[in-house]
Each structure stands twice: as C-alpha cells, then as structure tokens.
A = this chain, B = another copy of it.
Amino acid sequence: MTSARFDVAGLGNAIVDVIAKADDAYLIRHGIAKGAMTLIDPHRAKLLEDTLADTTIVPGGSAANTIAGLASLGGQGAFIGRVHDDWLGEGFAAGTRRIGVHYDTPAAKDGASTARSVILVTPDGERSMNTYLGASVELDEGDIDEELIAASKILFIEGYLWDSETLKGAVRKAIRAARAANRLVAFTCSDAFCVGRFRPDFIDLIENDFDIVFANQDELVSLYETSNFDDAFQNARATGKLFAVTRSEKGAVVFQGSAVHLIDAMPDVQVVDTTGAGDQFAAGFLYGVAHDLGMATSGRLGCLAAAEVISHIGPRPAVPLHGLAKSAGLL
C-alpha cells in the first residue's frame, strides 16, 4: 500500500467507558437490553452510575478502541472525535495520546459534557452498553482535518456516528477527503440495532463509498434481512467489497470477490468481558491490510487481538499486541 504518515485515521464518538459488573437480574430491573448498545440521556446515565458501587473508568469509543489496538500492534494511528473540556474529556485525550495515537480534535468549551457509556458486564462475559453521546455528536465539519485523512492509508468510520443527524456532514466531508486522496474507506456496522436504524443508508454506502466493511454475524443478517447467515453472506459477497465478518466462537470469515478465508477463533480463550471484541478484531485486520499482509493473515491478527481483549475487563489491549502477534508467528 502507498506509504503514508498514518496507517489508519479513525473517526468516531469520543466516549469514556464506565464499566461495572452486573448480573442478569440487574439488567432486568433497570430495563437494559442485554448485548446491545442503547442510547440514554444524561439523567439516566447518572441514575445508573448511582446504582453502581465499583466502576472502572477508561477511555473507550468503538473507533477509538480500534486505533488504540492498532497502536498496540505497532501501527501508526490517528483519531478524530470530540470531547468536552471537562475532567472526563481530559482523561480521554491524555489516555489516547499516552499510547502513541495522534489526537488533536479541540475539546468543546460549551455544549454537552463528554460522552460516556455505562457498560454492564454480566458473568457470561456479555456486555450491555448504555451510552450518553454528549459532546461527541457535536463534532462538525470544522473538526475534520482533511490533511490528516489524506495522510492516512485508511479512513475508518463507526456506524454509531449515524445516530446523530448533525454528524453526517462531518462524516461526508471525511469520506470525500479520503476519496480525493485515493485512500481506502473502512466502516464498521457497530451494532445490530444500529443497522436496523440505518439499513438503507448503510447498504447504499457499502455499494458506493466503502471499500472495507466490518460486521458481526448478527449485524450482517440484520443488514440484508435474511433468515440465515449463508444468505446474508451471499448478499455481501455480491457487493465485491472486502468484508471481515466475526462469528464469535466460530471465528471469522473474510472475503472479497472469489477469495474467501475461514479463520478459526483462537483456542482456549476464557471469556471475561466481550467489550471491544469487534473493535480489536478491526484493529488487527486493518493493521494487516495497511501493511499488505494479505486477507488470511489480517483475519488472524484480528482474531488474536479480539481474543486478548475478551480475556480481561476493558475494551483495549492489556498487553502489547505486537509481542503477542510476533509470538504467534503473524508478524
């Protein structure tokens, strides 16, 4: 791939995660949809936070997590996303820069507070997210650094961004900047409910604007409204785009045109918290694509990064992925 200052520029919601353990009874009691990402207002965020005794507060956000994973693999990453000028926003910015990610979106001086997601992790490792988008959805066209995008091999966009009308102008500007510089545009479907909300947009964008698409199996089935995985897979293949689809313990299927690779999940992983699994799969895969490692190795890097992140609490790698990938013979 043509050389560039950055491997990937991520565009996404800048969110701080408030992580706590909870059981199914807690989810039922508080009306939380298990396994999904639900949007909430700041009042409900506070209400949930007040019920939780022991929380872990860390930088999160889907695309931001992916860029963090890319950096952990030794890749060069940049992130674009808006926080507020408050203590959570400062923590997000500091945490992002500390791991070597380029981040210079200015913090908002007025408007909503920094976005946060109350993430409940049940004993089965499943995570249920309750997200107050706050300042993150106030990202506007002025925040889109076209030079930065032109200097990145891949622009990576999260589907969650479609939850804000005001954000769409910024997303469009970013896509135009990538196209004009002949860069790849990658996209993650983010969440099956998210796909349900924006299906026609996503299908149109996949046909016309995106080169690489990430989805899990539920998202792919939702995207094409099929009754089984294989039919959704056939629909996706027909687009000719590069897809990387995760299937939980079934591993991943990576395909484009006549090429199809079936990548097994890493064996013997103890699932503690699935938060960030899809984000880190994307990190490994994008690292591989940006470094011309081929579809199969890129898929294996994705599975390796996902396996690491689900073995502990939190959405980002706990140990450097570069070393893990070297030990596994992938780098």
Contact = CB atoms under 8 A, between A and B. Distances in A.
Contacts of A296: 230-231
A228 B260 contact: no
A301 interface: no
A233 B262 contact: yes
A251 B263 CA distance: 14
A58 to B, nearest CB: 33
Chain multiplicity (copies):
2
Interface in A218-250: 228-231, 233-234, 237, 250
A325 to B, nearest CB: 15
Interface in A277-307: 296, 299
A3 interface: no
A228 B252 CA distance: 13
A261 interface: yes
A228 B261 CA distance: 11
A78 to B, nearest CB: 32
Interface in A158-179: none
A325 B296 CA distance: 36
A237 B261 CA distance: 11
Contacts of A258: 258
Contact of A230 (B229, B233, B262): B262
A259 B299 CA distance: 21
A264 interface: yes
Contacts of A234: 261
Nearest to A259: B234
A157 interface: no
Nearest to A237: B260
Contacts of A228: 264
Contacts of A253: 262
Contacts of A231: 296
A237 B228 CA distance: 23
A134 to B, nearest CB: 39
A264 B226 CA distance: 14
Nearest to A264: B229
Contact of A264 (B230, B251, B261, B262): B230
Contact of A229 (B229, B237, B255, B262): B262
Interface of A: 228-231, 233-234, 237, 250-251, 253, 255, 258, 260-264, 296, 299
13 contacts: A229-B262, A229-B264, A230-B261, A230-B262, A230-B263, A230-B264, A231-B296, A233-B260, A233-B261, A250-B250, A250-B251, A253-B262, A262-B262
Given A229-B262, A233-B261, 14 more contacts: A228-B264, A230-B261, A230-B263, A230-B264, A230-B296, A233-B260, A234-B261, A237-B260, A250-B250, A250-B251, A255-B260, A258-B258, A260-B260, A262-B262
